[in-house]
Amino acid sequence: MPRLNHSPRPGASLTVLGIETSCDETAAAMVRISQGAPTEVLSSVVLSQIDEHAPFGGVVPEIAARAHVQTIGSVVTKALRDAEVGAVELDGVAATAGPGLVGGVMVGLSFAKGLCLALDLPLVAVNHLEGHAVSARLSEDAPYPFLLLLVSGGHCQLLEVAGIGAYRRLGSTIDDAAGEAFDKIGGALGLAYPAGPALERLAAGGNPARFPLPRALLGRAGCDFSFSGLKTAAARIAESLASDAERRDLAAAAQSAIARQLADRTARAVDIYLLSHTPEQRRLVVAGGVAANGVVRAALQDLATSRGFTFLAPPLAYCTDNGAMIALAGAERLAVGLIDDLDVVARPRWPLDAEAARLAPTHLPGRKGAKA
Ligand code: KG4
Ligand code: ZN
């Protein structure tokens, strides 16, 4: 459990190193926050392990953990050097403590603990999802509260974000995450992992109406998502395709079906959000790797415009996993005095809204488990 530091530093400028190792990117960044001034990303280093995992068609946990061990030292050193900030100017070290592949999480978290011990700095154990939640604030004026759609390879959920550490989950996936659907359908179309960006390129110019795909949950009450039916249907069609034109059309159909579902569920969350927020608080933020997709962004932008919401999306570099979002979450926690003990553990599962997890058993293993 995070504990309240005795010296919260609201108002002061805070410089924090952030470390991210929960999946297949070894990342570190330096971020500075100062009251009344825009957030400064002083450096951001992201080293992808994609080439090592590509032959296996997905991320292999053991390979990921070993690769993090090999590269964490040089990635953190480069982040410190690029920022031209000495260790003495650091106010804290933040590291992803979960959810994710626990071997990798342990590498980054242990490295951060070592730095904190050596430099006598506070440690902030950051929930990876909280990193995505604040990612738009790295580059945009995105004051709290806002409605958040978090769509990545491992997660798909809608949250009301009242402030750092204050989340209410409105909906989540009942099976696959949206990024997983992109990756699996792309894989069936012969694209290398992670297939989301390549599927977007393949879909350009394709006809999304050629192949009808299941319209899961469309128009249904609630804000939950489901992508497994769509994924299976698209993969089955992919097996029978002969031409590149057909592959383009199927990619376009899948992409538009995913975007349509994301916008439909978000529209329902907008209704719920409006019940307890003022017109001035109409802000919709999208975050996570799938937020890099142009068709998804356009669908959400249209929804936001039609409901009078400001639409905010991080630049592409901050949509996918990075250290800057972890550093910012850490800095915001530090600013309100939230730090962690050095014996904090790495957590493979860690829902963002602890209260909802306690009240509803949807975070148990299995259906609505890890990906929720
Ligand atoms: O946030 P992220 O880097 O890692 C997780 O925390 O999961 O998200 C990675 C996911 C992958 O599934 C990848 O295929 C997807 O984001 N993605 C995209 C695009 N760029 C990344 N999906 C669709 N279109 C894109 N342009
Ligand atoms: Zn992520």
Tell me the domains of the chain and their CATH numbers. Answer: 3-138+318-352 (3.30.420.40), 146-313 (3.30.420.40)
Give the DSSP per-residue string, 323-335. Answer: HHHHHHHHHHHHH
The pLDDT tens digits for 270-301 are 999 999 999 999 999 999 999 999 999 999 99
What's the pLDDT tens digit per position in 253-271?
999 999 999 999 999 999 9
- C-alpha 218 to ligand 1 mean position (Å): 23
Whether 196 lines ligand 1, by a CB cut-off of 6 Å, is yes
- Pairwise CA distance, residues 280 & 233, whole Å: 42
Residue 11 scores a pLDDT above 70: no
| Residue 161 β-bridge partners | 146, 167
Task: Extract the runs of DSSP E, i.e. beta strands, from 209-363.
Answer: 283-287, 310-312, 338-339
pLDDT at 106 over 90: yes
Stretch among 5-14, 168-177, 196-205, 258-267 having the lowest mean pLDDT = 5-14
Encode 145-189 in three state secondary structure: CEEEEEECCCCEEEEEEEECCEEEEEEEECCCCHHHHHHHHHHHC
To test the pocket of ligand 1, the residue of 21, 23, 189, 290 to mutate (highest count of ligand atoms within 8 Å of its CB) is: 290
Q: Which two tokens stand for residue 265?
A: 């569920």
DSSP 23: S
| Alpha carbon of 178 to ligand 1 centroid (Å) | 9
User: What's the CA-to-centroid distance between 316 and ligand 2, angstroms?
Assistant: 13
pLDDT band per the 50, 70, 90 thresholds, residue 313: very high
Containing H/E element for 238?
helix 228-239
Tell me whether strands 146-151 and 156-163 are parallel, antiparallel or unpaired: antiparallel
Query: By C-alpha distance, which of 81, 42, 65 is closest to 324?
Result: 42
* Over residues 9-28, mean pLDDT: 89
Identify which ligand lies nearest to the alpha carbon of 287: 1
Does the pLDDT value for residue 368 go beyond 50? no
User: Which residues contact residue 236 at a Cβ distance below 8 angstroms, ignoring those fewer than 6 apart?
Assistant: none
Provide the token pair at 333: 């926690």
Residue 319 alpha carbon, nearest atom of ligand 1 = 1
Q: Average pLDDT, whole number, for the chain? A: 92
Q: Which residues neighbour 333 within 8 Å (Cβ) at sequence distance 6 or greater?
A: 2, 94, 124, 126, 164, 165, 339
CA 325 to chain centre: 9
Q: Can you read off the two tokens belonging to residue 132?
A: 């995505």
pLDDT of residue 93: 98
Q: What is the pLDDT of residue 58?
A: 82
Task: Decide: 97 and 352 in contact? Cβ < 8 Å.
Answer: no
Q: Please work out whether the CB of residue 179 comes within 6 Å of at least one atom of ligand 1.
A: yes
- Rounded Cα distance, 20 and 317, in Å: 14
CA distance 343 to 162: 28
Q: Dihedral through CA 195, CA 201, CA 202, CA 204, nearest 10?
A: 140
Please choose from 59, 149, 152 the residue to mutate so as to test ligand 1's pocket, defined by most ligand atoms within 8 A of CB: 152
Residue 190: pLDDT above 50?
yes
Residue located nearest, by CA, to atom 21 of ligand 1: 289
Tens of pLDDT, residue by residue over 322-365, are 999 999 999 999 999 999 999 999 999 999 986 655 555 443 43
Q: Cβ contacts of residue 235 below 8 Å, gap of 6+?
A: 184, 185, 188
Q: From the CA of 154, how far away is ligand 2's center (Å)?
A: 7
